[in-house]
Amino acid sequence: MAHYAVRESPPLRGEIPISTSKNAVLPIMCGALLTGEDVRIERVPELTDVKTLCALLASCGCSVKKEGDALVLNAGALQNPQDEEDVRKMRASVLVLGPLLSRLGEARIPLPGGCAIGQRPIDQHLKGMSALGAKVKFDHGGVTLSGRLRGAVIYLDMPSVGATENLLMAATLASGTTRIENAAKEPEIVDLAAFLNAMGARICGAGTSTIVIEGVRALHAVSWQPISDRIEAGTFLVAAGITGGELLLRHCPFAELEAVILKLQSMGMDITATPDGVLAKCGCPLRGADITTQPYPGFPTDMQAQMTALFATTPGISVVKDTIFPQRFMHCSELKRMGADIKVDNGTAVISGVETLSGAPVMASDLRASAALVLAALKAEGTTEIHRLYHIDRGYEMIDEKLLAIGAAVERLPDDDN
């Protein structure tokens, strides 16, 4: 395994090409199981989560071919995953449930465990699938769903991104009309619905809390370019803020990042959309702020850890409340090892900004926490060693090259026990 040695860095300057969205490409890859014809996905990011899902799709009998940075998937010979371990490796694997059930009439997956950011139940997925007519059976740590799907009205108890995506995919081949109420409205769901409609599905209302799906008999081949990664983009906006630099983000979504951009502007950053991309400047000292995470279009929970790192060296008191994942504060104990002044209680962190942080050996606990530690290390005196780097490789494509290209003093080193 490897770790980062990050030294205090000058203001970051330069251009960053934002990659295709991890959280768009993963459900779209699962959507490819809904047809027996070729599905070509362009500009697929080199991420371990993508590699993990490719292995799972292959174990479902799907052929997986890389053509440059495109993936060509063909699920003509679809079956249930042969190795349940492949499903357990990544939470997003639950998204094969809807496609497998609607094409095969039966699907079995292991029940996902919790993770560093909290319990990750799938009760809303299962509630929706049973509303569509599936029989649900729990045994040996897994769940088996079976039955022919027919359209239904589904009310989600909370706007779950994954449940909305899973049920959207299952409903495309169900007989009759399905209406999903209290659906999540994330841009990744709009992209998934547009991808499915390009395959011949009949979905309307994606991006609103009511989605209506007319079931069709079959879906067909498609070539698709998923949207850019708004969370990667937000992470680099924070990198400009924490180092007082100036970054131009190419292929950067602007409207989909509104809650984050408005918050950073309220702290004193200058962020504008230009014909070449989104330009982020941070010339003046920033002011603290408060954030409460909400379902889209509210402030995204996936940007909470990165903002906490920014608040750690921003003068004033900032308050972070995560209503989506109240336990998503493991990065705070590591930031405190670097000298941050943070008190965490009951899903809320109160951060009092300090002059400087000091480099220390820290441990990444999940994907966004690892990004937060890199951001804080750029602003910490001395060297910070960030261990369990595999977390950051799950969701940030070519992160080393991108950081080095803008002047970050980052070095990837093998662990001593290697």
Catalytic machinery residues: 115
Q: Is the Cα dihedral 63, 66, 252, 12 positive or negative?
A: positive
Count of helix runs (H) and strand runs (E) in the chain: 14, 25
The minimum distance between CB 184 and ligand EPZ, in angstroms, equals 6
- Residue 246 CA to residue 280 CA, distance in Å, equals 6
Minimum distance from residue 318 beta carbon to ligand EPZ (Å): 21
Given the complex with ligand EPZ, which of 180 and 184 has the nearer CB atom? 184
Q: How far is the CB of 125 from ligand EPZ (least distance, A)?
A: 5
The C-alpha R_g of the chain, in whole angstroms, comes to 21
Short-list 285, 331, 304, CA closest to 340? 331
The whole-angstrom separation of Cα 112 and Cα 119 is 9
Residue 327 C-beta: closest distance to ligand EPZ, Å: 10
State which residue, 268 or 326, has the beta carbon closest to ligand EPZ: 326
Question: What's the one-letter identity of residue 41?
Answer: I
Helices 187-198 and 161-172 pack at an angle, to 10 degrees, of 10
CB of 198 to ligand EPZ, least distance (A): 20
Whichever of 230 and 379 has its CB closer to ligand EPZ, that residue is 230
- CA 243 centroid distance within chain: 24
Q: How far is the CB of 26 from ligand EPZ (least distance, A)?
A: 5
Query: For ligand EPZ, which residue has the nearest CB?
Result: 162
**Between residues 236 and 325, which has the closer beta carbon with respect to ligand EPZ?**
325
- CA separation (Å) from 316 to 168, 239, 289, 304, 306? 44, 19, 8, 18, 17
In angstroms, give the least distance from the CB of 124 to ligand EPZ: 3
- d(Cα 372, Cα 387) in Å, to the nearest integer? 13
Task: In angstroms, give the least distance from the CB of 395 to ligand EPZ.
Answer: 6
23-40 CB burial, b ≥16 within 10 A, e <16: bbbbbbbbbbbbbebbbb
What distance in Å separates the CA atoms of residue 69 and residue 49, rounded to the nearest whole number?
15
Contacts of residue 212, Cβ cutoff 8 Å, sequence gap at least 6: 177, 178, 179, 180, 203, 204, 205
Neighbouring-strand partners of residue 318? 351
In the complex with ligand EPZ, which residue's Cβ is closer, 74 or 160? 160
Which residues of the chain form contacts with ligand EPZ (CB under 6 A)? 23, 26, 91-92, 119-125, 158, 160-163, 184, 301-302, 324-325, 367-368, 395
What contacts 337, CB < 8 A, 6 or more positions away?
A: 360, 361, 362
> Residues 6 or more apart from 15 whose CB is under 8 A from it?
247, 248, 249, 250, 277, 405, 406
Contact 219, 201 (CB under 8 A): yes
Nearer to ligand EPZ among residue 126 and residue 380 (C-beta): 126
Q: 60: closest CA among 81, 42, 40, 33?
A: 81
Nearer to ligand EPZ, 160 or 318 (CB): 160
In angstroms, the CA 232 to CA 371 distance is 9
Per-residue b/e over 129-163, b at no fewer than 16 CB within 10 Å? bebbbbeeeeeeeebbbeeebebbebebeebbbbb
| Residue 339 or 347 with smaller CB distance to ligand EPZ | 347
